[in-house]
Amino acid sequence: MIDFAESRRIMVDRQVRTADVTDLRIIAAMLDVPRERFAPGRESIAYLDVDLPVTSAGPGAARALLKPMVFAKLIQAAEIAPSDHVLDLGCATGYSSAVLAQLAGTVVALEEDAALAAAAKANLAALGSPNVTVVSGPLTAGYQANAPYDLILVEGACEVVPEALCRQLKDNGRLLALVGAAPMAKATIYRCVMGRATAQPLFDAAGPALPGFARPPAFVF
């Protein structure tokens, strides 16, 4: 029998704290949210230092939760305030949204995969996360209906960040994403000031590719 509470503690102590994540709110949230619940059938690997698969789709289409260290560093860099309105883009089964719910005022959890969206709704309802709303739609379009956002967190690697996402930020809002091609990307923060978004690289990180975020093929003579 796996002691999941002890597994969470080890994850936080050995993966999160050692990556210079010092925000006590993040540490408390990651100690509280049962990651194993969000990957049924893969509970035994839920706390490993890996991207956690949540689908078994074909090559290039499989979805996974970001590894704990990368996720924790991203949300620490986001400097989430208790009043923030957050778009969790590519929420998958809802783990990231459950953590964000303990840090922000409101969370919109966007997922385009119908089965994942249904799982996210069920998981978040079971945990009691009343400040999270799960919505469905194409990830690359964001979710204009609930915009503008203080923060958009992109839950995966993308070769390009669609301009539509940056336009859904409030003034002084920020977008966090892993930008670049596999096998390595760069965690990047975009800040929107007076309608213009500027990018600042943060740290090297790998992550699962999100569907629809590949760079269009270049024309070759």
pLDDT tens for each residue of 39-93: 999 999 999 999 999 997 554 458 999 999 999 999 999 999 999 999 999 999 9
**What pLDDT score does 162 carry?**
84
Give the Cα separation of 193 and 197 in Å (integer).
6
Res 118 pLDDT > 60: yes
Alpha-carbon Rg for the chain, nearest whole angstrom, is 16
Average pLDDT of the residues of the chain: 93
**What pLDDT score does 221 carry?**
52
Give the Cα separation of 2 and 103 in Å (integer).
28
HEC assignment per residue over the chain = CCCHHHHHHHHHHHHHHHHCCCCHHHHHHHHHCCHHHHCCCCHHHCCCCCCEECCCCCCCCCCEECCHHHHHHHHHHHCCCCCCEEEEECCCCCHHHHHHHCCCCEEEEEECCHHHHHHHHHHHHHHCCCCEEEEECCHHHCCHHHCCEEEEEEEEEECCCCHHHHCCEEEEEEEEEEECCCCCEEEEEEEEECCEEEEEEEEEECCCECCCCCCCCCCCC
pLDDT band, very low/low/confident/very high, at 172 (cuts 50, 70, 90):
very high
pLDDT band, very low/low/confident/very high, at 173 (cuts 50, 70, 90):
very high
Tokens of 132: 């999270």
> Smallest Cα–Cα separation from 51: which of 210, 211, 214, 215?
210
Taking residues 191-204, what's their average pLDDT?
89
Res 219 pLDDT > 90: no
Give the Cα separation of 16 and 72 in Å (integer).
7
**What pLDDT score does 133 carry?**
98
For residue 96, the tally of other CB atoms under 10 A from its CB is: 26
**What pLDDT score does 218 carry?**
53
Which of the pair, 19 or 192, is modelled with greater confidence?
19
Tens digit of pLDDT for each residue in 56-69?
755 445 899 999 99
What's the whole-model pTM score? Answer: 0.93
Report the percentage of the chain scoring pLDDT > 90.
81
Domains along the chain? 4-205 (3.40.50.150)
Taking residues 189-213, what's their average pLDDT?
89
The answer to whether the CB of 17 falls within 8 A of the CB of 23 is: no
Taking residues 151-158, what's their average pLDDT?
95
**What pLDDT score does 181 carry?**
76
Give the Cα separation of 34 and 65 in Å (integer).
13
The answer to whether the CB of 156 falls within 8 A of the CB of 91 is: no
**What pLDDT score does 158 carry?**
92
